[in-house]
Amino acid sequence: MSFATARGHRLAVFALAFSGGFVIMSLELLGGRILAPWFGGSIYVWGSIITVFMLSLAAGYYLGGWLSLRSPSLGRLGGLLVIGAAVLYPATMLAESLMSWVFTRVEDPRYGSLLASLALFVAPTVLLGAISPYSVRLLVRRQEESGKVAGTLYFFSTLGSAFGTLATSFYFVLWFEINTIVSALSGALLVLGALAMAAGALRRV
């Protein structure tokens, strides 16, 4: 692999890690707006959302580490984003009917918001959480550089989370409806994932 190709590969992986962090935090903030009409905006609701995201990320980190042991590639990393987009998009279609179903069956807003958060956010967050540990495996070439690679990747992922938080809370929710934002996030993941898969296929040629 030439220096230019290797550098492009690294930049692509960093960009995907940034994008994953961006979408995770954007979705977490939107979760509060999605649940609010049904369960309110109390500390119980936010406690449910944060708990679900933390547990989902933990599962995603484990999944990403496990998947990275099985012939890791840029194309397969792109596949994670494409699948993430595929499971995130239905949230825009199913959220209202799901909230209504849970609301009429679970009176306690604590457990109602927890159940709704589990149903809506676990699958996409697990898949997005797998990006960073999987990316580490793609970039590590020597054992002694593993710490630096992991630190750099989590820097980009956390930077993406910060930008996703600001962009969503300062601008997106003022300019667009929630369904539009979630659809745009899904579309961005789909495009980035498809590009990564295409780049991975070209590298094998």
Sort 2 into a burial class: Cβ within 10 Å, 0-12 / 13-18 / 19+: exposed
In this structure, of 18-22, 33-37, 167-171, 178-182, the range with the lowest mean pLDDT score is: 33-37
Candidates 1.20.1250.20, 3.40.50.880, 1.10.1040.10, 3.30.365.10; CATH matching 3-204: 1.20.1250.20
Q: Which residues contact 203 (CB under 8 A, 6 or more apart)?
A: 1, 5, 9, 73, 74, 75
End-to-end CA distance of the chain: 12
Which amino acid is present at 173? Answer: V
Q: What is the pTM of this model?
A: 0.87
The pLDDT of 132-140, averaged and rounded, is: 83
- Taking only the tens place, the pLDDT of each residue in 82-115 is 998 999 888 777 878 888 888 788 878 888 889 9
Residue spans per domain, the chain: 3-204
- What tokens appear for 155 in the block? 């820097």
Coil, helix or strand for 69?
Answer: coil
